[in-house]
Chains A and B, each alone.
Chain A
């Protein structure tokens, strides 16, 4: 039955007219008047084309603009191999590309677009940074094609959270625009950064790392959360100068990324001073470095972090080190650590490890019983009561049995 011979426009109008129903003045316009004409945005205007008010320093026409900056070259210190647990040798500096995107939202999904991309590389005497800007949506295929040219899959893509976010977003954008996408091998600094700094910092954002790890105050900066709104404002107003904060923010992000790449290996080079400095979490560093299983030198560097941390009495270091020795079948070393820890701290974990080691490895039931009973008196009723009682009963039973004949 056709009962709706009314256009959607009429219904929408009626719906909105409800705001200005008799006796209820509309807040923004008198009843019956048409909505205000909005100024036609300049970029994206199909007749005039975009870019009429685009700021200097950028080149291009149509929908896509680029600029290239030569920034101070970050110093690379230490062995960057620490970033590459799978490789035998750190890649050449010249094969690295540092990249980052600014997007219209953080939630992902098909409706989130990248509008600004930057790719930095280490060239003799400078850090060469190229930014590509999408002046309006229709330019996206060109934007992406330019980006892929700058980011060939033959180079190593260095990013901060690029593995989970930027690359996935690009994959979607290329797909939606019917373009092939070939990502290069990824180095995402977020993963080592989390190991090293998570326990020391309120969060692991690049901005926080920049301030607290690189010790570079940013001064005036636009918070990342405001960036999409700034872009939308530019799109509707055509005021590209509103974006200069965003462009600067984005440059700094990529530069900091490269600096972080140079900074972390240096930080890890000397465990004894590193542990003392408190600039990173030595246990996280040990865990990360000891992940280089095929690389004896870096593995040893990780172990040295653990050892130094133990010597400096970093909480948890002793237990980790002892567990490492125990797994390596260096039981006596492990035992000495547990013994020392328990003597100093009377803590449950090392006490229990001690009791287990005495009972099972050293077969010294009476010493094991002694530790178990001490634990019972220290923690009886608060921790591990059933387990301790079981252990106590087992040890007692064995001790009261006559020894083996002969």
Chain B
């Protein structure tokens, strides 16, 4: 494929020049954060680092890390670096009590985020002649707004379908000739199956490419989607903490994602010691926002386990590449695109008067995540009436749905029947085999 670039100068910038650009931005950014974010200033002061200690990107390692816990402590305004009157938008994770991340954006922040998404769309062959169907959720979730903005920047005709309503998705896709599809990989697979059932052959479907992210997926899944839809399927990475999708994106090589490192500097660290690891090492991915204004996180620990590579890419981009994340350093699960921590389920159980004896079972059936929660019945709640026990299951499922936004199937089970290893219940059984 002839390569197009959205911002060629940046995307193919020689290494030394990129490093100079990153250094220049970092020095400015550290000063901006130090002056405007007391929370981070305290962290720096405690570590004995001043803005003067950061003269280039090589000094980044001196700065303290930020973690999800910091975001929780500083919620909602503690990490804000601009007056609210300069902010134009928030986006938020699907998360919940204690875990919700609210990210703020100035107009410039939105622009750079949308540029990142535009680079991703251009990298898969998108031009102003394309029709881009965005089937990520719109709203607080970053998926829809991010790709929507990127599609506008490229000049595609944008179909803002948001998620769900498969019948309508298919109608717009076929009637208006969508050529690029943006959604979660599991939804892409589902759309593919639905089209197949309706009698569409891959050659009847106008799509040529898809940009799929927000949840883990495998190479097998990629092949399946490519075959049923007759397209090339590309991965995209991002997180609300840094901006949203577009932090990294795949090119025609489909072998890892180029990090938009002029905006987001990536490091790999040893998750136990915090030490920066050399290129090619497997460790925790850490991002530093080099030029975001409102919510500029420095050295944010993503908890994703990853590998970075500077190997020359045939697409001509010099941007560093990250592998598909290989796992997590914490116990976070991604179910139907939603981040789920077992501790959230535990909090619901305690609130509803159950013992925290439970097990989360996740599987993927026909490319859709199943989400089951087994909970041990308590002697106090046990009754001889089936209808009451079923009502307890429904009510608990409702409480979990309120917490997470996704609906589990709750099963009450007899006490001490949940598998325990070394006396501790095994909390999560993930049968999806994604990596």
A and B part of one assembly:
no
**A residues bordering B, Cβ < 8 Å?**
none
